[in-house]
Amino acid sequence: MQDLRPIVRLLQNQRWTSGAEIGKITGCFGEDLEQAIAALKARGLPLEYQTERGYRLTSPAMLIDEERLTGLLQDAGLVSATRVSVVDAVDSTNSRLLDWAEPATLHGRVCVAEYQSDGRGRQGRPWFAAGYRNLTLSLAWRIEQDTTELSTVSLVGGLAVCDCLEDIGLSQVCLKWPNDVMSPVGKLAGILVETKSTGLEHLHVVIGIGINIHNASAVKARIEQPIADLGTLMGSKLDRTSLSAKLLSGLSCALERVNRSGFSDCAQKWNKRDAYMGCAVIGTIGDQKIQGQGLGVDDSGAYRVRDDRGRIHRLISGEVRLRRAADAPKADHRAKVKQSRA
């Protein structure tokens, strides 16, 4: 499929634009244009058509500007500054970097996509996001500390997203282990960390981040949990280019710190953002369920749950969710308690 961004660029001011005008400027006419418009709609772009007026966007969409993003990353002194590619559509930005043919140039490489046809989430789930109106990007990174647990990379990613969102003015952002970024109304962002075996001395990881900015109800209906949209929460037009730059610089700095000194410095920071600290939770590892109280992460990034007999369990993979009132002893459900050490 051709790059559809020239059409989006033409329509992004929300003005009615005739098919002939689109054809003249983008070179896409007739049947090709019809196909392109159908593809844009299928990607989730809110487009309207009237015979006598042509096409227009019913709500704003502003494309991510690769040149400006590169400039912003250069200004921030980032290793990735010269290795950013913003693409129109890709199956998954993570896959794009995992399949990268030259491992020696992978470190710091960034792929940002306006649309993912096969976005992937954790635990084999899909990641849905309307095209041109959300943020889907991946960063490849070389891990230098032998002791760095991969799970801690994803925790660091979650923290970087929270810090970035707070920086642009969003409050009450918290983390649900391992790395769901939550607002009081639902999930704002998710992180998928995958490894790339390069044959080089150091392990490379690909950190994929999806931030919900604007999703139509049709997209929301496909997602099995409540999701929050940054655009709605912030109530203003978000500049996805500068948001990407802020996120990538914060993330790179955090990853450099982890390469230097491991995760332990971040554990306390993560626990301050833990949505379930002190709450009655159920930790799930495969089929095993552990009921107890959420105690946050330890220095290796494992989530600790204290069961009703006082034993501390460390979850290394799996999920933690709130215990429903019916499952939990009334007195301690969602009660905040003092954190105790494992």
Report the alpha-carbon distance of residue 96 to residue 94 in Å, rounded.
Answer: 5
Between 248 and 328, whose beta carbon lies closer to ligand BTN?
248
Strands across the sheet containing 84-90:
84-90, 110-116, 135-143, 203-211, 186-196, 180-183, 174-176
Which tokens hold the place of 257? Answer: 């710190």
One of 17, 26, 80, 138 touching ligand BTN (CB under 6 A): 138
Q: How far is the CB of 207 from ligand BTN (least distance, A)?
A: 8
Binding mask 272-311 for ligand BTN (x = CB under 6 A): ----------------------------------------
Cβ atoms within 10 Å, residue 70: 20
Beta carbon of residue 65, minimum distance to ligand BTN (angstroms, whole number): 19
Nearest Cα residue to 156 out of 264, 74, 84:
264
Footprint of ligand BTN on 175-214 (CB under 6 A): 180, 190-192, 208-210
Q: What is the DSSP string of 252-273?
A: HHHHHHHHHH-SHHHHHHHHHT
Cβ-closest position to ligand BTN:
190
When binding is defined by CB under 6 A, the residue of 136, 148, 151, 152 that contacts ligand BTN is: 136
CA nearest to 131, candidates 35, 57, 27: 57
Residue 87, H or E segment: strand 84-90
Residue number, 190 or 292, with CB nearest to ligand BTN = 190
Query: Segment near ligand BTN (CB under 6 A), from 20-28, 86-94, 306-314, 321-329?
Result: 86-94
Nearer Cβ to ligand BTN (209/230): 209
Q: Using CB atoms within 10 Å of the CB of residue 71, give its burial: 0 to 12 exposed, 13 to 18 middle, 19+ buried.
A: middle
Closest-CA residue to 123 (of 178, 185, 171): 178
Task: Identify the residue among 6, 121, 186, 318 touching ligand BTN (CB under 6 A).
Answer: 121
Which member of 55, 127, 141, 263 binds ligand BTN (CB under 6 A)?
127
Question: Which CB atom, from 135 or from 279, has the smaller least distance to ligand BTN?
Answer: 135
Pair 306, 295: CB distance under 8 Å: yes
Of 116 and 152, the one with the shorter C-beta distance to ligand BTN is 116
Query: For ligand BTN, which is the closer residue by CB, 184 or 329?
Result: 184
Q: Which tokens hold the place of 142?
A: 């070389």
**Among residues 150, 188, 124, 190, which one has the least CA distance to residue 302?**
150
Residues from 91 through 120 that contact ligand BTN (CB under 6 A) = 92-94, 116, 119-120
How many residues bind ligand BTN (CB under 6 A)? The answer is: 20
Residues that bind ligand BTN in the complex, under the rule CB under 6 A:
92-94, 116, 119-122, 125, 127, 136-138, 180, 190-192, 208-210
